[in-house]
Chain A
Amino acid sequence: MNISTYARLLTKKRKNDVVIYFIFQVLSIIIFSSFSNFIVGDYYASKEHLGNIVIGFSRMDLCLLILLPIFFLNLHGFDFYLRSKSEEITIFKIGGASYSKIIHFIFKELRIILMLALVIGLPLGLVTSTMVMSIASTSIQILDLIVAIPLMTIILFLVIFILQMLYLFALIIRFLDINSLSELLRYKKAYTSNQKDIAYSKLNLTTIFNVVIGVISLYWLWYFLMYSTVGNAGDLILGSAFGSIVYIFSIRGVVCYGILWIRDMFMFNKTNAYLILTYLFQFFIKMKSTIMLFGLSVFFLITSTLLNFGNYTEVVILMIVCIVTALFLFFTFFFQTTNMVRNQITNFDQLYRLGKTKKDIHKIIFWEIFIFCTISSLLIYALPFISLYKYCLGNVISTAMVNLITLCYTAIALIMSVCIYQYSMYLLKKSKEEV
């Protein structure tokens, strides 16, 4: 009976949270392994032989491309993981455990997960990296197609890993600091702050500002896509990233205000619609913009690269990137949304007591999730799709490719909403059993 046993037992039993965090870690490792060779290795003779994909990409750009998803994955994954631990932390704190003991315990748990993730992720990463390299070798002159792991890759991996650990450590400390024991013990319902909601619900300076910025950013992005040259991919990333930030923040404001405006029309007519829109508003307000941001940036990157469409094989590589990106977005989006639904569960009990049937409540949950997923997916994909289509007109293969990508994306979005709904139903059932 020691801390390690506890860590092991608790990891084994709390499957959901652990598995999600674990998958994220595995994905990070796979991405890293697949593309790290491009950053680090000297597999090509000279820049001219790089082919159209990596033309103009400096190593820093590729580095950014890989670090960004890893960083986001860990950020969301760990946040989710930590929040599910707050009850354990309360219990240990009551028993007299100090900060250092608790952190020690959390890291023991993390160690198990991370070791497993490494063990599974690295071999898988090697496989994908070989795939990527062999596809790339058809258009790029690869000097040494050895499935070897150069020293630099290992060093880079360790650096990223240590940075990640430091960041997690900081997150844990911050979490322990913010949640004092007396607050953790309060078993009365805590009302969360609604300041943002109030700001968005009126036609005031904030909303007008958001609309104006939204229009400007849309125009800016459009101009950028129309007239930019594919000279330096780094510029493209930066430009699209900046435009996306502005787009996200302002569009979100517009969407939120729009939702409330529509909601007020339903106020005394259809209570279901009224409630769905209320929860939808909550989703959009609380949704972390980083996901949308990230999704948009990567899609813009892919768009701008496809502008220089050439080789069939290059497209396949880009497809891999697309799919992997979609998988990230899927997971992050998935548990962000389920987290938000989880916070709404007490609400549903209140609704039942006020006079809504269980069927109605299920309907409300389904529609709020479905509409949220649809609108978010549209927001993320709309601009890249338009620019893709515009530039691929005339080229039959490219149009077909774009259609295929769109189809895959739609399918993933639909599957995601169904998954979130099923998981929410499961959460609802579980909470009723506990009561």
Chain B
Amino acid sequence: MALIKAVNLHKVFILEIGVKKETVDQDIKGKMQTLREYIDVTKSITVLSGIDFSIEEGDYIVIMGPSGSGKTTLLNMLSAIDIPTKGTVHINDQLTRNLSDNKLANIRYKYIGFDFQNFYFLEELSVRHNIASPLVMQEEDESMIIERVNEIAEQLGICDLLDKYPKQCSGGQKQKIALARALVTHPKIIVADEPTGNLDSNNANMLMQIFDELNHKGKTILMVTHDCWIASYAKKVLYFKDGKIVETLVRKDGISKEEFFLEVLDLNSKHN
């Protein structure tokens, strides 16, 4: 049973409905003249067109592609943040289409942990409170919450930060805190949108090693990035362009990370 399955996904954003078209031109004297034509035009963008996709448990998938190709929109569809215009998304065999906002929230809580590029912390609360926030909002048992937070903090090596505030932490530390918050609900899949976007090379490598460990322990990872080196940590790389998956690259057993990196680079240059 696939963890997340998407069939024939389409997403259309409507910008304007019924626009009247005006053309501006200059007449002989050089004065600006406006000609008005009334045209019924619906301006819309099809961001995703026909995606078929499935993620199994234990997968480590990276979605790559040029900016504006729709990667974030796809991520939003797959992680119950948004609903597709056409097509279906099943998360743990539950159809997301007709679910209410509350039920979608519940799915997010149970199965998915989010790690974004722009951390989204509550600056007024300590790190411990920030990490615990998903559990606290669900009104779980207090002692359980404290235990979980300590457990995750130890796992990621941020125990000394727990009583500090997000402002006092460096970029790399903040990313670890964001990851801790994603892990605290013991989700099945971690969805990361450009997690190394704001990090320098050292911190980025360190973060990717943590993701590696998590994947070895059984967590499914779905990541979006534009960086080939970061992408080469994955087991499967999907290249996304203009709303479609154009190629899938699978890492064969036995090849080293460097070799896979060169393959990913080739994939990128081929589709550009």
With A9-B124, A187-B118 as given contacts, are A96 and B109 in contact (CB-CB < 8 Å)?
yes
Task: Name which of A1, A90, A94, A95 has the most chain B CB atoms within 10 A of its CB.
Answer: A95
Residues of B contacting A187 with CB < 8 Å? 118
Q: How far is the CA of A14 from the CA of B125 in the complex (A)?
A: 11
Task: Name which of B82, B132, B137 has the most chain A CB atoms within 10 A of its CB.
Answer: B137
Whether A98 contacts B106 by the Cβ 8 Å rule is yes
Interface string of A71-106 (1 = CB under 8 A from B): 000000000000000011011111111111110010
Interface string of B118-146 (1 = CB under 8 A from A): 10111011000100111011110010011
Whether B129 contacts A6 by the Cβ 8 Å rule is yes
Q: How far is the CA of A410 from the CA of B122 in the complex (A)?
A: 41
Residues of B contacting A414 with CB < 8 Å? none
Whether B114 contacts A94 by the Cβ 8 Å rule is yes
Residues of B contacting A87 with CB < 8 Å? 120, 122
Contact residues of A: prevailing secondary structure: helix
Residue from the list B82, B133, B139 in contact with A92, Cβ < 8 A: B133
Q: Which residue of A has the minimal Cβ distance to B114?
A: A94
Whether A2 contacts B136 by the Cβ 8 Å rule is yes
| B101 interface hit (Cβ, 8 Å) | yes
Residue from the list A1, A13, A99, A105 in contact with B101, Cβ < 8 A: A99
Interface string of B133-167 (1 = CB under 8 A from A): 11011110010011000000000000000000000
Q: Which residue of B has the minimal Cβ distance to A102?
A: B137
Q: Which residue of B has the minimal Cβ distance to A94?
A: B114
Whether B76 contacts A92 by the Cβ 8 Å rule is no
Q: How far is the CA of A97 from the CA of B185 in the complex (A)?
A: 12
Q: Which of A32-40, A178-186, A223-231, A353-361 contacts B (4 or more CB under 8 A)?
A: A178-186
Whether B106 contacts A1 by the Cβ 8 Å rule is no
Whether B132 contacts A1 by the Cβ 8 Å rule is yes
- Expressed in whole angstroms, the minimum distance between the Cβ of B210 and any Cβ of chain A is 20
Whether A90 contacts B120 by the Cβ 8 Å rule is yes
Residue from the list B121, B125, B138, B145 in contact with A9, Cβ < 8 A: B125
- What's the interface size class on B, roughly? 20 to 34
Residues of B contacting A12 with CB < 8 Å? 124
Whether A6 contacts B136 by the Cβ 8 Å rule is yes
Contact residues of B: prevailing secondary structure: helix
Residue from the list A2, A10, A96, A176 in contact with B124, Cβ < 8 A: A10
How many residues belonging to A are interface residues under a CB distance threshold of 8 Å?
Answer: 31
Hey, which bits of chain A sit against chain B, CB under 8 A? 1-3, 6, 9-10, 12-14, 87-88, 90-102, 105, 176, 180-182, 185, 187
Q: A1-B136, A3-B136, A101-B137 are in contact. List 8 more A-B contacts (CB 8 A).
A: A9-B125, A91-B120, A95-B133, A96-B106, A97-B105, A97-B137, A98-B101, A99-B101
With A3-B139, A96-B138 as given contacts, are A9 and B129 in contact (CB-CB < 8 Å)?
yes
Whether A1 contacts B129 by the Cβ 8 Å rule is yes
Q: How far is the CA of A1 from the CA of B108 in the complex (A)?
A: 22
| B206 interface hit (Cβ, 8 Å) | no
| B271 interface hit (Cβ, 8 Å) | no
Residues of B contacting A96 with CB < 8 Å? 105-110, 112, 134, 137-138, 185
Q: How far is the CA of A10 from the CA of B124 in the complex (A)?
A: 6
Q: How far is the CA of A14 from the CA of B123 in the complex (A)?
A: 10
| B219 interface hit (Cβ, 8 Å) | no
Residue from the list A13, A95, A181 in contact with B137, Cβ < 8 A: A95
- Expressed in whole angstroms, the minimum distance between the Cβ of A14 and any Cβ of chain B is 6
Whether B81 contacts A182 by the Cβ 8 Å rule is yes
6 intermolecular pairs with C-beta atoms under 8 Å apart? A9-B129, A96-B108, A96-B110, A97-B105, A98-B101, A98-B105
